[in-house]
Structure 1
Amino acid sequence: MIVLQPGSGPVRGAQYLPSGPGTVRWGRLPCASDEPVLRVAPGTEVTIDTVSHEGLLDDQGSDPVSYFGGHGVPRAEVLDDAVEIVRELRRDPAHDGPHVVTGPVHVEGAEPGDLLSVTLLEALPRVPYGVVSNRHGRGALPGEMPAGPDNVSVLVRAVPRADADQAAAGTAAGLVGLLPLVDGGEPVVEVPLRPFLGIMGVAVAGDVPPHSVPPGPHGGNIDISLLQVGSTLHLPVQVPGALAYVGDPHFAQGDGEVALTAWEASLRVTVRFDVVPRERALAEFGELAGPLGETVEHLVPTGMDPDLDEALRRCVRQAVALLGARYGMTPHLAYAYLSAATDFRVSQVVDLVTGVHATIRKDDFARVARRGPGSVVGSASGPAAGPVFRVEGSPLVAPTGRGPLDGLGVAVKDLFDVAGHRVGAGVPAWLDAAAPADRHAPAVADLLAAGAHVVGIAHTDELAYSVAGANPHHGTPPNPAAPWAVPGGSSSGPASAVASGAADVGLATDTAGSVRVPASYQGLWGLRTTHDAVDRTGLVPLAPSFDTVGWITRDAGTLLAVASAVLAGAAPATAPPPAAGPDDDPSVTLAWSPALLAHVEPTTRAAFTALLARWAALPGVRVRALADDALPDPADAFAAFRTVQAAEAWRSHGSFVDAHADALGTAVARRFAAARRVTPDEEAAARAEADRVARAVRAVLADAVLVLPTTPGPAPRRATPEVEEVRVPTLELTCLAALAGAPALSVPVLVVTVPEAGPAPVGVSLVGRPGDDLALVRLGARLDSRAATTGASNPRNLAATTPPYAANASRTTTSEHRGAS
C-alpha cells in the first residue's frame, strides 16, 4: 500500500487539514481559548490527517524512526509528521495524556445548545502497521497482565487480503492484520480492519484544556468502535464555533479495549461537519447529556463514569430519554423495550472514565411517527398522519462525489436498494425476509455520485400497487399542501418528505402514476421518465413493461438539475435552450383532449380551460383541441393497461402473496386476487389493445405535447370512500403516458377550492415524445413562469405547503438557489 505522507495521496474533502506541530494538540484537548486551525461552513467535507501516539511516547524512546525501525519498519514507512511532532512539541507525561488530536476546526454558525454532527465519510490507512500495547500496569487485568515488569507492545502488520480485488487495494477492505500464536511464530491469526476514530469532540468552555484520556460530555476519547465509516457522532456544542477535533486513530478495537490500547494506527479521514440547531436537536434527540452516536442501523446513546455500573445506569437513562423525545415513548415502556431488545456494550474500561453505549435498532420503530422534522403527528382536520421515513439519518448515506447536486438531500422510495439497508416495499413481511443490499441501485448511485446525499428511506404503498398513498401497516404520510387529504401514492413518502422540507428530491417510481399523482396532490414537480431511460436494476418491480424511475421536487430548477445529472444529455437536439427569453422561445403546440376532460371534476375543469386560454396567449405557444377520436376511449385504454399490469404484477409477486396470505391490506390484496385470475388469452388481447393505444398517443406526440390535468381533481379526504372512487378516473388519465412509454411531467400550476376544507393544488401534466424528458422540464418551467405573470394561481404560495417546521429545516433552502422557474 501507499504510505500517505503529509500532502501526498488521495484527498476527498473540499478542505485538507494536515497534521503537524502547528495543527495538532498533544496530550490535551482544545478549550474555548484555543485558536482554530481551520474555519469551515456547515456541511463542508474536510480530509484530515491523524497521527497515532504509538511510537512517539517517552517510554518508547520519543523517536518514531528508531522505535518502528526496531520492529522492522523502514524509514520510508514512518510518517514525517509524526517525526516533526516529537521534535517540535513537548508534553508532560505526568500530567498530560498520550493522544495527538488534529484541530480545532471552527464550524460557522455552531452555538452552545446546538449539536455538532461529525460524519465519518472515509478512513484510509496511512501506514501498513499499528501497535497494540499493554503498559503501565493498566488494562482490564492490572497486576496480571503484562506478566513481567516490562511493558508489552505488539506491532501488527496490515497486509493485502488474498481475496481483495484491485479496487480495494490500500483501503481497509483490502487489508487484514496478522498475529502469530507465539512470539516469533508465523502470523496466522487474522485481525479484520475496522478503522474508526477513538477521539472526536468539541472544545470545552473556559481556558483550561482537558486531559486527553477521560471522555466526557464534550466527547473526546470515547473509543466506540461501532462509529466506523458511514456513522455520525452528535456532540453538544459548548463554545461558539464548536472547535471540533479528531484523533486517536484505530485500525480496529474490540469492545472494552481490555489491554489498554487497541490496534492503534494512523489514518487519513474525511469527515463532514453539520450543525443541528437546538430546536431541531431537541425534537430529534431530546436534551443530550453527552455524545450520541448514529449508524445506518442504530442509535447509540452513551453513558460515562469512573464507575462502570454508574456508566451503565447513565447510558440507560439517556436511552430512555432519547426514546421519549424522538418517538414519544413513555419511560416504563421504553425501559421494557430496552431490556428486551437493546444491547448495552462496554466501550472501554481503560480511560479513567469508563464508557457504555447502547445499540437501539432504528427498524424497530419503523411504524412509529417521528416527532421531529420529516413527520406530522396528528391534524386538527383529519386522522393522524403516519410517518414519512422508515429509516433516516443525518445523513443516512453520504455523497460519493461532487457535482451539480451538491448539498441536495434525497428521500429514497422504499423500493430501491440502498447499500447496507433492507428494502421494505411497504410490507413488513417483505422487510422481515429481506437481506441488506450489498450495493446501491444505479438510480441511487447516480444521485450520490453527482453530490446528493440520502436523508432517509421513505414509505411507499404496499408493493407500489396503489395511487392513494395509504398504507395499513405504517399509516398515511401527511399532505402538507392539504392536511385533510391523502398524499397520493405510491410514492407517498418521498413526496411528503419533499413537500415538508425534509428532503429536496424524492427518488420515486411511476408505473401508473406514482410520481405524478402525489406531485399533483401536494403541489410539487414530478417527472415520470421515458421508459427504460433510467436503469431499474436494484428496484423492486411491479409491472416491468410500465415501471419507470422518476423524481419529485419543489421547483423546476432542482428537477432539471437532477434529470440532467442522471440522464447525461439524453435530451434530443430539438430541446429548447434552458433560458430562452420572451422573444426567442421556440414554438410549441399543446394538444388537449375534450374527451378526457369529461372525466375531470367541474372546478378543476374550469381552472384547466382557463389556464389553456392563458397559455394560448403566450408568444410561440399554440393550443389546439384534439378530435374526439384522436385518442382511444379512456376506459378502454385503462382496461388494457390494468390487465397487462395485473398479469405482470402477479408474475412479479404472486409467489410472495401466496406465501404470506395475511401480509397485505384489503385494497392491495384485492388487486392481487384479481391479478391471479388474468388468463394468458386475456393478457394477449390486452397487450394488443395497449399497443393500439400507444400508437395513437405517439401519433399525437409526433408534433405536439399532450396536456391534461394530472388528476381529475384535488386529493380526496383521508379515510373516506372517495379515495377508492377517484382511483379509476385518475388512472384513466395517467395510464396514457405509461402505455406510450413516454415522459410525463406534472407541473403545479392549478389551485382549486375544496368545500369546507380550503384551497388545494392540482397538477397539469405535459406528455412528450420518448426521449424528450429534459425538453419537457424546460417547457414546464417556461409555461409555469409565464402563467404566473399572467395571473395563474401558484400552489407553492399556499400557506398549507409551508408547515411551521419547514421554515427551520436546514434542507429547505438548499434547492432554492437552483430554481430556474
Structure 2
Amino acid sequence: MTSSPFVPGTSVRIDGAPGGQLAGLTFAAKDLFDVAGHPTGGSNPDWARQNPIPTRHAWAVQALLDAGCTLVGKTITDEVSLGILGENAFEGTPENPAAPGYVPGGSSSGSASAVAAGICDTALGTDTGGSVRVPASFCGLFGIRPTHGRLDLSGMLPQAPTSDTTGWFARDAATFARVSAVLLQEPIAPALPTRLVVATDAFGFADPATRDVLQPMLDRLKRIIPDWREDILAPPGLTTWSRAQRTLQPVEAWETFRPWVERDNPRFAFNVARGLVLGATMPEAERGRAALVRREARGRMAHLLPPGTVLALPTTPFPAPRTGLPLPELEAIRAAINVLCAFGGLAGHPQVSMPGAVCDGRPVGLSLLAARGADALLVATAVALANESETA
C-alpha cells in the first residue's frame, strides 16, 4: 500500500527563525532526526515506545530552523533506516509522485516523497548505503550525500557510524544551493571543476535504457567541463566493492541495534530482521577482507578525484521498480542498486544526484563525486548543469 509521506498519527510544526537566509522555505525531517518533545520512531513499531522522547533538536533540524526554514512534519523511513527501496510494512510506502505505483526509494522515502509532491521545499534524509541518493534518483530530485564526517550528526539515529551521513533533497537547483550553503556552512561559489572523469564501468553496469537517457545530461556536462576522460572507477570490480560494503554495513548495524534487540526483542519486518541476523553472524575473516577492500577503495578514489576533478556515473542502474514485488525479486534489485552506491560508505566522498532524465516514464539520476570536502563544488556544478539544461 502507498501512504502519506508523514509518520502516521503525528503532527509537527515549528516555525523557523524570522529573517534567516531560508526564511519562507519549509522542510520535513526523516523520523531518524530528533525533534524536541516528539518521539523519534524510526518507522518501527517499538523504537519510540522503548526509547525516551528527545529533549533537544538534532543538529541538522536546529540548523535549518535557525536559518528560518519551517519544519512541517516528520517523514516515514524504512525501519530504522535498514532498507533501500522505501517500502515499510508497518507505516506504509510513501507514494512516488514522479512515478505512481513505483517505489520512492529508501530509506529516506518519506522525505523524498514530500519534496517531490511539493508538500515542502526541502527535507532531511540520511545516507549510509544510498538512502538519499537512491530516492533522489527514483523521485527526480536533487540529493546530496556529504563528505563523511563533515556534518554534526548529533540527534540523528545511527546505523553504521563509519558510513552514516545526513543528506537533503530539493526539487530545483536554486533551493538545493540555498539549503546546501546553510548545512555545509559554506557559500556555494559559482566555480566549476576543471576536469571530468566518466566512470565507464558504472555506466556499463547500468541498464542500456538508463545509459541512453543519461547521455544527453552527460553531453551537457562535457560542454561545461570540456577537459574530460573515461576511466574505471573500481579496477577490482564494482561488485567487489559492493560485497565489502554489504559486509561492513550490516556488522555495524548489528552493533548499533544489538543492545535494543537483546533488551526489548522488538518487532521487525522479515527483511529487516534478516539483515540484522546477517550482521550478527558475519565471519571475522569476511570482516577483515572487507576492511582491506575499503582501504583499497579509498586509495583508488583519492587517486581519481584530486582537487578540481569530478566523476560522473548513474545514480542507480535503473529507474524505480514497482511496489509490492516478491521478496526474491527485491533481493536481486537491492543487490544491483548497492553496486552503484557502495563506494559512498566505503570511501566517504561527497556525491550529488541530479535530476533531468526519464526512462520508461520514470526519473533516473546522474551523479557526481568529488574529493573529500569538495561538497560545495558539487552543488555548484549541479546548479551549472541545471542552468545549461534550461538554455540548451
TM-score class, shorter: over 0.9
1:746 to 2:350 alignment = no
* Residue pair 1:467, 1:488 contacting (<8 A) in 2 also: yes
* Contact persistence 1:416–1:538 (CA under 8 A): yes
Residue equivalent to 2:325: 720
Q: Which residue of 2 aligns with 1:548?
A: 165
Name the residue aligned to 1:507: 124
Distance apart, 1:520 and its partner CA: 0.5
Residue among 53, 56, 64 paired with 1:439: 56
Contact kept? 2:197, 2:312, Cα under 8 Å: yes
Task: Report deviation, 1:619.
Answer: 4.5
Equivalent of 2:148 in 507, 521, 531: 531
Q: Pick the aligned partner of 1:675 from 279, 288, 302.
A: 279
- What amino acid is the match of 1:506? A
2:371 is aligned to 769
Match of 1:199 in 2: none
2-structure distance, mates of 1:644, 1:388: 30
Three-state SS of the structure 2 residue aligned to 1:507 is strand
Q: Deviations 1:379-405 (Å, cap 9, x if unpaired)?
A: xxxxx4122111654x61122453111
Q: Please give the TM-score of this superposition, normalised by the length of structure 2.
A: 0.94
Q: CA deviation at 1:680?
A: 3.5
1:650 aligns with 2:254: yes
1:20-99 superposed matches below 5 A: none
SS at match of 2:152: coil
Judge which range, 474-483 or 777-786, deviates more: 777-786
2:87 is the counterpart of 1:470:
yes
Alpha-carbon RMSD across the aligned residues, in angstroms, is 1.8
Who is 1:787 aligned against? 389
After TM superposition, give the deviation of residue 445 of structure 1 in Å. Answer: 0.6
CA contact (8 A) 2:200 2:233 kept: no
**Structure 2 residue aligned with 1:634:** 238
Which residue identity is paired with 1:654? R
1:600 aligns with 206
For 1:548-592, what per-residue CA distance to the aligned partner results, in whole angstroms no more than 9, with x for missing partners? 0111111111111111112222x7xxx7x33x7xxxxx4532212
Q: For residue 111 of structure 2, what is the aligned residue in structure 1?
A: 494
Identity %: 38
Verify the 8 A CA contact 2:196 2:225 in the aligned structure 1.
no
* Structure 1 unmatched runs, 5+: 1-383, 581-585, 754-758, 791-821
Change (3 A) 1:523 1:558: same
**How much does 1:623 deviate?**
2.7
The residue number in structure 2 matching 1:396 is 13
Matched, 1:624 2:260: no
Matching of residues 231-380 of structure 1 within 5 Å = none
Please tell me whether the aligned partners of residues 388 and 497 of structure 1 are also in contact (alpha carbons under 8 angstroms).
Answer: yes
1:730, distance to aligned residue in structure 2 (A): 1.0
* Counterpart Cα distance in 2 of 1:408 and 1:788: 23
Deviation, 1:770, is 1.1
Residues 486 and 640 (structure 1 numbering): CA distance in 2 closer, same or farther, change over 3 Å? same
1: CA distance, partners of 2:365 / 2:225: 22
Distance 1:588 1:764 in 2: 19
The 3-state SS of whatever aligns with 2:83 is: coil
Given the superposition, is the C-alpha separation of residues 675 and 562 from structure 1 closer, same or farther in structure 2, using an over 3 Å criterion?
A: same
Contact persistence 2:46–2:266 (CA under 8 A): no
Question: How far, CA to CA, are the matches of 1:417 and 1:551 in structure 2?
Answer: 16
Partner of 1:408: 25
Cα displacement (A) at 1:471 = 0.4
Q: Which residue of 1 aligns with 2:292?
A: 688
Match of 1:706 among 300, 305, 311: 311
CA offset at residue 622 of structure 1?
A: 2.7
For residues 481 and 619 of structure 1, what CA distance do their matches in structure 2 show?
A: 28
SS of 1:726's equivalent in the other structure is: helix
Counterparts in 2 of 1:433 and 1:619: CA distance versus 1, 3 Å:
closer
Paired residue type of 1:670 = R
Q: What is the DSSP-based 3-state SS (H/G/I as helix, E as strand, rest coil) of the residue aligned with 1:648?
A: helix
Contact 2:17 2:23 in 1 (8 A): no
Q: Secondary structure of the residue that 2:3 maps to in structure 1?
A: coil
Question: Structure 2 regions of 5+ residues with no counterpart?
Answer: none
SS at match of 2:346: helix
- Of the candidates 157, 165, 175, which is equivalent to residue 558 of structure 1? 175
The amino acid of 1:505's aligned partner reads: T
TM-superposition CA deviations, 1:122-149 (whole Å, max 9, x none): xxxxxxxxxxxxxxxxxxxxxxxxxxxx
Contact 1:637 1:732 in 2 (8 A): yes
Match for residue 420 of structure 1?
Answer: 37
Amino acid at match of 2:110: G
- SS of 2:355's equivalent? strand
Shift of 1:662: 5.7
Partner of 2:372: helix, strand, or coil?
coil
2:105 alignment partner, SS class: coil
Which of structures 1 and 2 has the bigger CA Rg? 1
Kindly state the Cα deviation for residue 484 of structure 1 after the two structures are TM-superposed.
1.4
2:193–2:310 Cα contact (<8 Å) kept: no
SS of equivalent to 2:169: strand
Aligned mates of 1:674, 1:737 — CA distance in 2:
21
C-alpha separation in 2, matches of 1:629 and 1:564:
29
Q: How far apart, CA to CA, are the structure 2 residues paired with 1:437 and 1:691?
A: 36
1:22-76: per-residue Cα shift (whole Å, max 9, x none)?
xxxxxxxxxxxxxxxxxxxxxxxxxxxxxxxxxxxxxxxxxxxxxxxxxxxxxxx
Instruction: Output the CA distance in 2 between the equivalents of 1:666 and 1:587.
Output: 45
> Counterpart of 1:598 in 2: which secondary structure?
helix
Higher strand share: 1
> 1:431: Cα distance to partner?
1.5
After TM superposition, give the deviation of residue 538 of structure 1 in Å: 1.1
Aligned positions, number:
388
C-alpha distance in 2 between matches for 1:636 and 1:773? 26
Give 2:215's aligned residue: 609
Of structures 1 and 2, the one scoring higher in RCO (CA 8 A, sep 6+) is 2
Match of 1:168 in 2: none
**Alignment check: 8 A CA contact 1:587 1:622 kept:** no
Counterpart of 1:695 in structure 2: which amino acid? G
Residues 507/619 of structure 1: CA separation in 2 closer, same or farther (3 Å cut): closer
| Cα 1:652/1:620, change in 2 over 3 Å | closer
